[in-house]
Amino acid sequence: MIEMQSDVQDILREGVERTDAALERLLPPVSQTPASIHKAMRHSVFAGGKRLRPVLAMEAAWMIAAVRGGSGLPDGIEELGAAIEMLHTYSLIHDDLPALDDDDLRRGKPTCHVAFGEAIAILAGDALQTLAYQTLARMRCSADRRVEMIRLIADATGTIEGMIGGQVLDLEGEHTKPTAEMVLAIHRAKTGALIRVSIVTGGIYAGADVEDAARLEKFGRKAGLAFQIVDDILDVTQDSQHLGKTAGKDVASDKATWPAVFGIETARRDANRLIAEAFAVLEPWGDAAGSLKAVARYLVERTH
Amino acid sequence: MIEMQSDVQDILREGVERTDAALERLLPPVSQTPASIHKAMRHSVFAGGKRLRPVLAMEAAWMIAAVRGGSGLPDGIEELGAAIEMLHTYSLIHDDLPALDDDDLRRGKPTCHVAFGEAIAILAGDALQTLAYQTLARMRCSADRRVEMIRLIADATGTIEGMIGGQVLDLEGEHTKPTAEMVLAIHRAKTGALIRVSIVTGGIYAGADVEDAARLEKFGRKAGLAFQIVDDILDVTQDSQHLGKTAGKDVASDKATWPAVFGIETARRDANRLIAEAFAVLEPWGDAAGSLKAVARYLVERTH
């Protein structure tokens, strides 16, 4: 009988702590030359992110380890979460630039280019992408698993149905009326792909086989879309102070969001339906999936 | 008795052809959604680069294959050159941006942001970095060698003595009088590291052991610095039409260059001395090093 790891707040807190400790170790110190870029990288990486992707990677790893007879989180899993968080942060830094979304505030703090200037912000984003691969290439598992994780993560952040592709679709779609097809394509690529690959690579690090990885991918596809729909709903319904970023911005710029296309009520129903379908995918893993489910449920029920 | 592969013009032509064919295959077609970024990536990748890094990777691979009893270039080596060229191109796209060097012209063509706008140029650079790792993770050699190449290449393009670090030092040093220490640090990191790692990973792909790799690294360190000094000299002595970019720009902005610190005559002597030292490093490989030497000699004797 496998018990749940612990309650969801403890899981989230442990995830943040382990990820932050790994990032602290992996990011060059601000005393290291050239100091300006290391300061900028740390400014954005330690801006108070919730580390959702690392937590999902950890819970997927915990589950796969458990069904394979292991117990606890595999050693070194936090380096995977840290690498993914570097990629997430690089995309935010570049997305916030004046030429893109032109955002001054992120999680209540000045964005990277506001604090360090555009040139350093561009290079800090570049360097975080690079550092993610420096990190992944050194992870504590076989070369076969490292190459597989690198391939999947690079694909998930690329132009074809990956993170950058989603950013381009999002840019191109601004100021035109969003369609259902468009919003689905953007969500799947811009945010969905990295969430999905966090879950899949967490499993692979813990020893997932091809069948496990395919099932994790399916879970991640449904759950990731549900999380993004909830994000969209919160942007419409919460005020800026509660969110820590400029609320209502998506509506103001005609951004392709789920509620903009389907309305709030349908969006809520869709998020709940997707999470139920995602949980059904986890059925074969039985009780071992408890923590992963608890985290996913928390993410669709959160209010900020 | 190992003969030289062929004359240097043939080597360079073959290097360009094989690299361009690989890039053509690896870059998404412009018909692929989202089209704008794929157009921008191709615009900059196919702007007439000389593919020096891929050629150096190929000649290092040819040499290592030859001394290990093989013959000819190892299958698939052009994918390594293509990945390195993607990284080189991404750094040029970002370096040309208004917030950095603000260049409108590169190899006689409009720079990426001039042709496609800043937002797409930033994302196209990001995507070329990503595509390099998508490519490296799929190369036709063992997972061990793939991970080793990825680790070395990521380190060589990072902030600590790597390409991005060199860009930051270069930015920070603008409009201050360059010192010998500064110009050496910038050259080693900004351009030297990627040249060096091209040579080392070319050897690794062909089966280099640890000792071979260390020797290739030493050769690449000396030869790479010599190439950069020649680049600096050409910037001072050639006109814009001959160079295909805005000549004299380095002097105008007080850029840290070798001739600015040491004068033209010393710069010429240093380049020749470094190449002689680099050739001495290749001695143990005897005649097998002929093509690599021929390419290196061509690069320090070129006039544009």
Q: Is the pTM of this model over 0.80?
A: yes
In a domain, A1, yes or no: no
Residues B243-300 have pLDDT tens digits of 555 555 555 556 789 999 999 999 999 999 999 999 999 999 999 999 999 999 999 9
In a domain, A270, yes or no: yes
Whether B197 has a pLDDT exceeding 80, the answer reads: yes
Of A120, A133, A142, the CB nearest to B150: A133
pLDDT of residue B45: 98
The residue in chain A having the minimum alpha-carbon distance to the alpha carbon of residue B166 is: A34
In a domain, A3, yes or no: no
- Determine, for residues B126 and A127 on separate chains, whether the beta-carbon distance falls below 8 Å: no
Residues in B 150-209 with any Cβ partner in A closer than 8 A: 150-151, 154-155, 157-160, 162, 164-165, 167-169, 171-172
Residues A20-71 have pLDDT tens digits of 999 999 999 999 999 999 999 999 999 998 999 999 999 999 999 999 988 7
pLDDT of residue B253: 55
Contacts of A157 in chain B (CB under 8 A): 130
Segment B219-245 mean pLDDT: 84
Among the ranges given (A58-62, A127-131, A240-244, B207-211), the one the predictor scored with the smallest mean pLDDT: A240-244
The residue in chain A having the minimum alpha-carbon distance to the alpha carbon of residue B32 is: A160
Other Cβ atoms less than 10 A from the Cβ of B108: the count is: 12
Percentage of residues of chain B with pLDDT beyond 90:
84
Whether A243 has a pLDDT exceeding 60, the answer reads: no
Enter the tokens of residue B204. 């690794």
Contacts of A137 in chain B (CB under 8 A): 147, 150-151, 154
pLDDT of residue B240: 54
If you average pLDDT over every residue of chain B, what do you get? 92
Among the ranges given (A174-183, A185-194, B187-196, B199-208), the one the predictor scored with the smallest mean pLDDT: A174-183
Beta carbons within 8 Å of B87's beta carbon, 6+ residues apart:
B128, B129, B132, B153, B157, B163, B194
Residues B46-63 have pLDDT tens digits of 999 899 999 999 999 999
Residues A205-229 have pLDDT tens digits of 999 999 999 999 999 999 999 999 9
ipTM, 2 dp: 0.94
- Determine, for residues B34 and A143 on separate chains, whether the beta-carbon distance falls below 8 Å: no
DSSP chain B: -PPP-S-HHHHHHHHHHHHHHHHHHHSPPTTSSSHHHHHHHHHHHTS----HHHHHHHHHHHHHHHHTT--SPPTTHHHHHHHHHHHHHHHHHHHTSTTTT--SEETTEE-HHHHH-HHHHHHHHHHHHHHHHHHHTT-SS-HHHHHHHHHHHHHHTSSSSSHHHHHHHHHHHTTS---HHHHHHHIIIIIIHHHHHHHHHHHHHTT--HHHHHHHHHHHHHHHHHHHHHHHHHHHHS-HHHHTS-TTHHHHTT---HHHHH-HHHHHHHHHHHHHHHHHHHGGGGGGGHHHHHHHHHHHH---
Segment B141-153 mean pLDDT: 98
pLDDT of residue B3: 46
In a domain, A2, yes or no: no
Segment B140-157 mean pLDDT: 98
CATH code of residue A109: 1.10.600.10
Residues A151-178 have pLDDT tens digits of 999 999 999 999 999 999 999 988 788 8
Residues A257-292 have pLDDT tens digits of 999 999 999 999 999 999 999 999 999 999 999 999
In a domain, B3, yes or no: no
In a domain, A212, yes or no: yes
Whether A72 has a pLDDT exceeding 90, the answer reads: no
Greater model confidence, B177 or A112: A112
**Chain A: nearest CA to B246, how far in angstroms?**
21
The domain in which residue B162 lies consists of 8-301
pLDDT of residue A238: 78
pLDDT of residue A251: 53
In a domain, A20, yes or no: yes
Contacts of A146 in chain B (CB under 8 A): 143, 147
In a domain, B177, yes or no: yes
Q: Based on the structure, what is the number of domains in chain A?
A: 1
Residues B155-173 have pLDDT tens digits of 999 999 999 999 999 999 8
Segment B94-121 mean pLDDT: 96
pLDDT of residue B59: 97
Residues B7-19 have pLDDT tens digits of 899 999 999 999 9
